[in-house]
Amino acid sequence: MINPHPASTTADGQTARSTPGPPFITLRDVTKTWPNGTTVLSQIQMDVAKGDFISLIGPSGCGKSTLLRLISGLSPMSTGFIQIDGMIPENAREIMSFIFQDATLLPWRTVSRNVELGLELQGGETRTGRSAKARELLKLVGLESVADHYPRQLSGGMKMRVSIARALAIRPKILLMDEPFGALDEMTRDFLNEEVLRLREVDKFTTFFVTHSVSEAVFLSNRIMVLKANPGQIHREIQVPFPNPRVASLRSAPEFLSLVGEVSSALRAVKSQK
């Protein structure tokens, strides 16, 4: 198996972006047709640099979740190709983590043992090593105090933070998030948005983020892909120029609001198309 962590590519996103060479992730003519003949995604092209934070936004059913499943190799594409750090998706799973809309915690494991799951399945780490790492990550998301609780004892927002800690435990280079905060109230969502940005400063992961919230997309991303439906295609890409690190007050800045307006109108255009 190819070593997914060659020393030359461990530099952080910012420096990698400026270096010439092949992009970190490439999608070429990615098309997905279901067995019943409907084409859900057609001719998707994308070049992703290390450290990019890409939001996918578009009408329901346009294929956002499907696209994430193709990138993660959970679902095979029909034609086209995807390359991730020089690997096909199925071989790149070790450097990817998937965060689902529901926190998908295992109810029979404690919070800490849930965070350990990825490390445990991958093997190659002692029990004490795993649990030390889990504590460290729980500390990072502010949940050390509930390490020995069971998921049912947590609120929705706490579960999501555990899910994030679990995803980060394997030190992924790529984070795939499918509407991770869709079920949360706005205050919790804002808080977790800031949390994600803070964690990203630490780990510099490259992110694909599916959302229905325009302001969330603008706040988090540096690139927003507005998708259209039937078949799913990238309708428009919108760059978000705000520098990192971003702070909560950005949300009320006029540039922020005007960009939210721009994305919203692109979304409206896409929705009225069909």
Ligand X SMILES: Nc1ncnc2c1ncn2[C@@H]1O[C@H](COP(=O)(O)OP(=O)(O)OP(=O)(O)O)[C@@H](O)[C@H]1O
Interacting residues toward other proteins by CB under 8 A: 69, 72, 74, 93-94, 96-98, 100, 102, 104, 106, 108, 117-118, 120-122, 170
Distance CA 84, CA 49 (A): 11
Q: Is residue 65 a contact residue for ligand X (CB under 6 A)?
A: yes
Q: Helix 156-169 to helix 186-203 angle, to the nearest 10 degrees? A: 10
Selected range binding ligand X among 4-12, 56-64, 158-166, 183-191, rule: CB under 6 A = 56-64
Closest to ligand X by CB, 40 vs 103, is 40
Distance in Å, CB of 15 to ligand X, minimum: 33
Q: Is residue 142 a contact residue for ligand X (CB under 6 A)?
A: no
Selected range binding ligand X among 63-71, 161-169, 199-207, 238-246, rule: CB under 6 A = 63-71
Q: Is residue 272 a contact residue for ligand X (CB under 6 A)?
A: no
100 binds, among Mg ion, ligand X, other proteins, none (CB under 5 to 8 A by kind): other proteins
Distance CA 257, CA 263 (A): 10
61 binds, among Mg ion, ligand X, other proteins, none (CB under 5 to 8 A by kind): ligand X
Helix (H) or strand (E) holding 158: helix 156-169
Distance CA 51, CA 15 (A): 10
208 pairs with which residues across the strands? 54, 176
In Å, how far are 76, 104, 142, 185, 187 from 152, measured between CA atoms?
34, 12, 18, 18, 21
Q: Is residue 39 a contact residue for ligand X (CB under 6 A)?
A: no
